[in-house]
Chain A
Amino acid sequence: MKFRAIHQLAAGFAAGDAISLEAVAIRDACRALGAVSEIYVPAERTARDCRATVRPLEEFRPAPGDLLIYHYSIQSAATDVFRAAAMPKVAIYHNVTPASYFLAFDEQVAAQLEAARRELAEVAGAADAVWADSAFNAAELAAAGARNVRVLPLLFSTPAFDVPADPVVRQGLATPSRKILFVGRLAPNKCVEELIEAFAWYHKRIERRSELILVGSERSCPRYFAMLRMFAAELDLMAVSFVRYASPAGLVAYYEGADLFATTSRHEGYCLPVVEAMFKNVPVLARNVGGVPEAMDGAGVLFDEAQPEELAGLMHQLISAGALREEVLAGERARIQRLLARPVQRELQDLLNAL
Chain B
Amino acid sequence: MKITVSGQDRSGDVGQAAVAAGARLRAAGGIGELSPEHSALRLREAQDCDDYVRRFIELLRLRHGVRTADYYVPRGPGLRGKLAVALKTVLWKLLRYQHDRVTIQQNLINELEINALEFQRDRLNRELADLKRRVADLEQGRAKGAP
List chain A positions with a Cβ less than 8 A from chain B.
103-107, 188, 193, 197, 200-201, 204-206, 208-209, 223, 226-228, 230-231, 233-236, 238, 288, 298-307, 309-314, 316-317, 324, 327-328, 330-331
A234 touching B22 in the complex, CB below 8 Å, given contacts A104-B52, A301-B3: no
Please give, as numbers and ranges, the residues of chain A lying within 8 Å of B43 by CB-CB distance: 104-105, 223, 227, 230
Per-position 1/0 for B50-84, Cβ under 8 A of A = 01100010010001000100011011000000000
B106 within 8 A of A: no
Complex partner residue of A223 from B2, B3, B52, CB under 8 angstroms: B52
Residues A310 and B21 in contact, CB atoms below 8 Å apart: yes
8 Å CB contact of B63 from A206, A234, A303: A234
Report yes or no: A234 in contact with B14, Cβ–Cβ below 8 A.
Answer: no
Min C-beta distance of A341 to chain B, whole Å: 18
A303 touches B5 (CB 8 A): no
With known contacts A201-B31, A312-B25, A227–B41 Cβ distance under 8 A: yes
Check if A314 sits within 8 Å of B46, measured CB to CB: no
Q: How far is the CB of B90 from chain A (nearest CB, A)?
A: 20
Q: Does B17 contact A (CB under 8 A)?
A: yes
Q: Is the CB of A201 within 8 A of B2?
A: no
Interface size bracket, B side: 35 or more
* A202 → B minimal CB distance (Å): 9
The CA of A226 and the CA of B20, in the complex, are separated in Å by 34
Main secondary structure of the interface of A (DSSP, over half): helix
Q: Is B120 an interface residue (CB 8 A)?
A: no
B98 within 8 A of A: no
Contact (Cβ within 8 A) A209 B6: no
Interface residue? B28 (CB, 8 A) = yes
State the Cβ distance, B74 to closest chain A Cβ, in Å: 6
Take A204-B31, A316-B21 as given contacts and tell me if A299 and B2 are in contact as well, using a CB distance cutoff of 8 Å.
Answer: no
Give the nearest-CB partner of B11 in chain A: A304
| Chain B residues packing against A (C-beta within 8 Å) | 1-7, 14, 17-22, 24-26, 28, 31-34, 39-41, 43-49, 51-52, 56, 59, 63, 67, 71-72, 74-75
Taking CB atoms, residues of chain A closer than 8 Å to B26 are: 309
Please report the C-alpha to C-alpha distance between residue A188 and residue B71 in the assembled complex, in whole angstroms: 31
State the 7 A-B residue pairs at the shortest beta-carbon distance, nearest first. Answer: A313-B21, A331-B6, A298-B7, A310-B22, A230-B40, A104-B46, A309-B22
Q: Which residues of B contact A307 (CB under 8 A)?
A: 22
Instruction: State A11–B6 Cα separation when bound (angstroms).
Output: 35
A105-B46 contact in complex given A234-B63, A311-B18, A317-B14, C-beta closer than 8 Å: yes
Q: What A residues does B52 contact at CB under 8 A?
A: 104-105, 223
CB distance from A196 to the nearest CB of B (A): 10
A301 touches B4 (CB 8 A): yes
Residues of B within 8 A of A311 (CB): 18, 22
Does A324 lie within 8 Å of B1, measured CB to CB?
no
Is the CB–CB distance between B7 and A107 below 8 Å?
no
**A208-B74, A302-B3 given as contacts; is B45 within 8 A of A104 (CB)?**
yes
Q: How far is it, in angstroms, between the C-alpha of A233 and the C-alpha of B110 when the chains are bound?
A: 15
Give A241 to B117 CA distance when docked, in angstroms.
Answer: 27
Contact B31 A302 (CB under 8 A): no
Contacts of A197 in B (CB 8 A): 31
Question: Which residues on B sit within 8 Å (CB–CB) of A310?
Answer: 1, 18-19, 21-22
B1 near A317: Cβ-Cβ < 8 Å: no
Shortest Cβ gap from A187 to chain B (Å): 13
